Structure 1
Amino acid sequence: MTDSSSDSSTSESEVSACSSSFNPIKALYSNKTKVPVKTAPLYENINQFEAALNKSNEVFAVEQSELVKKREEEKERKRIEDENKLRQKNQQRFAQYAGMVQTSREFRTRNLLTRMDAMEGPLGVLRECVDKRLRLKIITRHGTGIRGVLHATLVAFDKQWNMALSDILEVWKRKGHRKRKVPPGLGTPVEKGTAATISSVPAVTETPLGKGVWECTRYIPQMMVRGEHVVLVNVVER
């Protein structure tokens, strides 16, 4: 009842934007209000409208989102161009000092595996044996002479000829019990079977060769041989 009475008391001149007696409050709540320009741009507040009047290229109306998107794309493109120009300018500026800059050396991990790949000469043959899993015949020595022979597959090695072997067949010779001399520095031998409680001891097969000499043979899954015990290495399989 109040709205209809207030609307009836409102005159055309009070809601007309072109009239000198324009009343904005009544224009907001009256049904008689008519928009002079239906295609007029829409702004969120008065500040945006004033900014659009002063800087028409920077402020857009609410429904002009495509123009805003194009403006942002243009700004991004210009920023990238400026960065490229600055980078090229700096490259030309410091080109004469390029040879004077000390570049940091690349850190490379060095271990047994990487050193094996760089081996050349006789050690390069050992590298080929590791890659192709070739069988080797290795003659070993003790303090006074030749000890025996190892038939094995090489797994790894280093420049001191230390070797990690697998699938080893070891053959060596020894004198009979009566003719063997036990050095006094060895002390009292352990009881039979004591070592087997700690780790399994490979079984040794002994074959008499005559004149008190026995040939011993045993199979060992894995073994580490020091380079100072290696006399000769021969490639059995190729």
Structure 2
Amino acid sequence: MSSTSSSESETSASSSKFDPIKVLYSKKTKVPVKNAPLYDNLQQFESALKYNESQSSSIIPVGKQELVKKREEEKEAKKKEEEKNLAEKNKQRFAQYQGLEPVKRPFRAKNVMTRLEAMTGPLGALKECVDQRLRIKITTRNANGIRGVLHATLVAFDKQWNMALSDVLEIWRRKAPKKRKIPPALGTPVPKGTAASISAVPVVTETNVGGGVLECTRHLPQIMVRGEHVVMVNIVERSTALSQQ
């Protein structure tokens, strides 16, 4: 009986004669708490004892995989929350410098049509004529002086004042045939009707204004005027509207 009691006291965890080696090899060992948590070593157990119940999740016993997964999810959520707060804090911190940051503009191809959009001044007025289809009056010149005027609708232009016009009424003056000085050796004239067979030749209407001068007019569906021949441009429809007001 004494040996039996001695054996029981040595395998009992609450006994002063507790012998861990006998406990490992004895078949009569009884676990005081069946659901007690298991730890890998004494250091983990001692660390778990130092924390209170609210912090007990920092040291997880062996076999509690659901607790490990829950703790990792909480860590990930906490990390995302901290990153979000940091980004918001940095955004408020650098908000005053946001306007000073260089902005990379998207690449745009540059051509005549794209340059028309940003033109200002006199070229901006011509752009308005193109957009609103306003009629304009163009005074043209020749080698010696003013040649005549063109009443037309502006279709396109560039910075050299080259202009594409449509629905053109051209008016100019020239001397009567008897007053003209025809230089000699002009070459063989083109047979009558040759140009008309290639394209329709506009009909020129001549009106005698006196002094041996004829005023000629003709209508052209479209024409291209070089900038070096342009003397002055007037917006006819705008000036008409202002005079009516």
One-letter amino acid of the counterpart of residue 180, structure 2: R
C-alpha spacing 1:182/1:115, structure 2 compared with 1 (3 Å): farther
Name the CA distance, whole Å, in 2 between partners of 1:194 and 1:135.
33
Ranges in structure 1 where 5+ consecutive residues have no aligned partner = 1-55, 58-76, 89-101
Name the larger-Rg structure. Answer: 2
What is the CA distance between 1:183 and its match in structure 2? 4.2
Give 1:108's aligned residue.
Answer: 108
Residue deviations 1:191-220 (CA, integer Å, cap 9, x gap):
121111111111111111222211111000
Match of 1:213 in 2: 213
- What secondary structure does 1:237 align onto? helix
Separation in 1 of the partners of 2:157 and 2:166? 12
Instruction: Tell me: CA distance 1:225–1:186, structure 2 relative to 1, closer, same or farther (3 Å).
Output: farther
Q: How far 1:103 sits from its partner (Å)?
A: 8.3
Deviations 1:75-121 (CA, angstroms, capped at 9, x unpaired):
xx9xx99xx9xx99xxxxxxxxxxxxx98763211121111111111
- 1:158 counterpart residue number: 158
Identity across matched positions, percent: 68
Q: Corresponding residue for 1:234?
A: 234
How far the C-alpha of 1:187 sits from its partner, in A, is 3.0
Matches within 5 A, 1:53-202: 106-183=106-183, 186-202=186-202
Following TM superposition, by how much is the alpha carbon of 1:185 offset from its aligned partner in structure 2, in angstroms?
Answer: 7.5
Distance in structure 2 (CA, Å) of the matches to 1:121 and 1:202: 35
Letter in 2 for 1:129: C
How far apart, CA to CA, are the structure 1 residues paired with 2:224 and 2:162?
7
Counterpart residue identity of residue 210, structure 1: G
Q: Deviations along 1:16-66, whole A, 9 cap, x unmatched?
A: xxxxxxxxxxxxxxxxxxxxxxxxxxxxxxxxxxxxxxxx99xxxxxxxxx
- For residues 237 and 172 of structure 1, the distance between their equivalents in structure 2, rounded to whole angstroms, comes to 21
Give the structure-1-normalised TM-score: 0.56
Q: Which residue of 2 aligns with 1:35?
A: none
Q: How does 1:1-12 map to 2 (within 5 A)?
A: none
C-alpha distance in 2, partners of 1:185/1:142? Answer: 22
In structure 2, the CA distance between the partners of 1:178 and 1:188, relative to structure 1 (3 Å rule), is farther
Secondary structure of the residue aligned to 1:234 is: strand
Distance of 2:115 and 2:183 partners within structure 1: 40
> d(CA) in 2 for partners of 1:149 and 1:185?
31
Distance in 2 between the 1:128 and 1:105 partners? 26
Q: Which runs of 5+ in 2 are unaligned?
A: 1-64, 67-76, 89-101, 239-245
| CA RMSD, 1 decimal | 4.2
- The one-letter amino acid paired with 1:232 is M
